[in-house]
């Protein structure tokens, strides 16, 4: 049994015995029953105590779980806790009134006054709601702490992604090749050199500007990726074949910052790019709002990859959406599918 199940059974026993003790003592002192009946665990009032305890403890637990299952993805943790409390309280009040009337009046023909029903309901609800309230408080406090931890972890992963992107872009290899390309373009075509500098600036600007964003528009990611691709196309003319097929509606969807950028950069980093063997990259969105990045598989044999970029990105998606990347590798293609978040109001 789980700790929660053990606690529920303990509450059930406590409520059952507590109700019996209260009412037996009340009836003994009023002279309605003999004191020896206190030890009768299967008398009419004792069995009724078991019924009410079952309604309040296990019935409320089932109602609470149903409420949580229906609303867990629609409200915050604190709102869910409050709604679960309300659902359990309403169910408990209705259940106790119905059980009292059905047990004493309909089944055995005993008259029950409104005062008795109110007294019974208050007594029956106070203890289990208090104890279950403690259980739920600890439960949702733990859930809230876990939620906060996941948000902090997602933030850390986002910072890691930003750091990796910056590290890759300011690495001596990247800068050396970019400056060498710029130097060559300046001599051959000054106008094109200016465009190259603009594209390089767009790459750095995007990485720096989105450090504090939880999500960004797919259109913003696409602009940054197009700038990155143009930088590489300038470095290796004819080395890339790019196909971006994303509808205007899909461009308004949200995605994690640096997600598409990381997927494209991963393809550029780990594959051969040359005019003799151009790398084909296709970016599109499936019907199920999934971003797809696929490239021809032509890995660089001299580069050993640890796959940390994709692993970190997958971890960020898992923390944010409970859904990670879908990676598919065939003999000729490498395909990654990433979930989109939707359009912000």
Predicted local confidence at residue 31, as pLDDT: 64
Structural contact between residues 299 and 270, judged by C-beta atoms closer than 8 angstroms: yes
Q: What are phi and psi of 171, to 5 degrees?
A: -65, 145
Structural contact between residues 25 and 38, judged by C-beta atoms closer than 8 angstroms: yes
Predicted local confidence at residue 297, as pLDDT: 94
CA atoms within 13 A on the CB side of 306: 3
Predicted local confidence at residue 12, as pLDDT: 77
pLDDT in tens, the chain (345 residues): 666 677 677 777 777 777 677 666 766 676 666 666 555 556 666 777 788 778 777 787 788 788 878 887 777 767 777 787 778 778 877 887 788 778 777 877 777 667 666 766 676 666 556 656 666 665 555 554 555 566 666 666 665 665 455 445 444 555 555 666 677 677 777 777 788 888 878 877 877 777 667 788 999 999 988 988 888 888 888 999 999 999 998 999 999 888 898 899 889 888 999 999 999 999 999 988 899 999 999 998 755 555 667 887 888 788 777 788 999 999 999 999 999 987 654
> Using CA atoms, how far apart are residues 197 and 220, in angstroms rounded to an integer?
19
Predicted local confidence at residue 244, as pLDDT: 95
Predicted local confidence at residue 201, as pLDDT: 83
Distances (CA, A) of 215 to 133, 221, 253, 311: 36, 10, 10, 19
Domains and CATH numbers, the chain: 3-150 (no CATH), 170-339 (3.30.565.10)
Pseudo-torsion of CA 5, 10, 11, 15, nearest 10°? 140
Separation of first and last alpha carbons in the chain: 45
The CB density around residue 308, as the number of other CB atoms within 10 Å, is 10
């Amino acid at each position: 049994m789980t700790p929660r199940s053990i606690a529920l059974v303990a509450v059930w026993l406590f409520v059952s015995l507590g109700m019996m003790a209260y009412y037996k003592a009340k009836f003994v002192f009023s002279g309605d029953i003999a004191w020896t009946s206190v030890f009768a665990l299967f008398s009419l009032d004792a069995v009724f105590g078991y019924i009410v305890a079952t309604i309040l403890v296990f019935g409320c637990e089932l109602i609470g779980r149903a409420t949580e299952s229906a609303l867990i993805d629609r409200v915050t943790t604190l709102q869910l806790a409050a709604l679960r409390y309300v659902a359990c309280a309403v169910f408990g009040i209705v259940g106790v009134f119905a059980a009292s009337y059905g047990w004493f009046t309909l089944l055995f023909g005993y008259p029950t006054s409104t005062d008795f029903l109110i007294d019974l309901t208050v007594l029956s609800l106070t203890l289990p709601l208090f104890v279950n309230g403690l259980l739920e408080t600890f439960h949702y406090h733990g859930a809230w702490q876990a939620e906060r931890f996941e948000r902090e972890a997602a933030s850390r992963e986002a910072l890691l992604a930003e750091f990796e992107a910056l590290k890759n872009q300011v690495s001596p290899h990247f800068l050396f090749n970019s400056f060498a390309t710029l130097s060559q373009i300046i001599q051959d075509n000054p106008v094109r050199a200016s465009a190259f500098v603009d594209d390089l600036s767009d790459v750095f600007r995007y990485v720096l500007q989105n450090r504090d964003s939880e999500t960004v528009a797919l259109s913003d990611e696409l602009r940054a990726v197009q700038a990155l691709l143009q930088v590489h196309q300038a470095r290796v003319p004819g080395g890339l074949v790019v196909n971006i097929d994303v509808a205007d509606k899909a461009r308004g969807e949200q995605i994690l910052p640096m997600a598409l950028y990381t997927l494209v950069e991963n393809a550029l980093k780990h594959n051969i790019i040359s005019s003799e063997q151009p790398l084909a990259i296709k970016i599109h969105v499936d019907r199920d709002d999934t971003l797809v990045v696929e490239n021809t598989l032509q890995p660089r044999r001299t580069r050993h990859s640890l796959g940390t970029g994709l692993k970190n990105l997958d971890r960020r998606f898992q923390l944010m959406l409970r859904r990670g990347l879908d990676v598919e590798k065939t003999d000729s293609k490498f395909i990654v599918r990433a979930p989109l978040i939707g359009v912000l109001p």
